Structure 1
């Protein structure tokens, strides 16, 4: 069908999170193209470079949050 393989994207600010060397890092307001169908996020090369600078840099965070941690096998109700 025409247009079936075309996917719609929207430009959004997203929250990017990852774990590096036992530290959980959250970066807010990251520009991304987000698939409306799957929710998959795509980042421009410049954005990826900036994310790497933030993660590996020694900059003081804007704020620090506390979050609960669960291990999946132990989280059974």
Structure 2
């Protein structure tokens, strides 16, 4: 159902996750515009470019986190 009200986007710091070549990358404190109603995140082109540089250049991470992984079984 579509609303006639305009979207409300709020500037926030979010956690960005990406799975690439079997590895999970987590980048914290990423500036984004977030739709308050849907939670959808929007990133500026410069932020996207910076995220790609962080991941693709093999930059040393600030820390490591152990993450549990589950298989979905119906």
Paired positions, count: 72
Measure the CA separation in 2 of the matches of 1:47 and 1:5: 28
- What are the ranges of 5 or more consecutive residues in structure 2 without an aligned counterpart? none
* Length-normalised TM-score, structure 2: 0.91
Show the counterpart of 1:44. 44
Moved segments of 4+, more than 4 Å: none
Measure the CA separation in 2 of the matches of 1:24 and 1:58: 13
* Length-normalised TM-score, structure 1: 0.87
**CA RMSD of superposed structures (Å):** 1.4
Q: Which structure has the bigger radius of gyration?
A: 1
Per-residue deviation, 1:18 = 1.1
- What are the ranges of 5 or more consecutive residues in structure 1 without an aligned counterpart? none
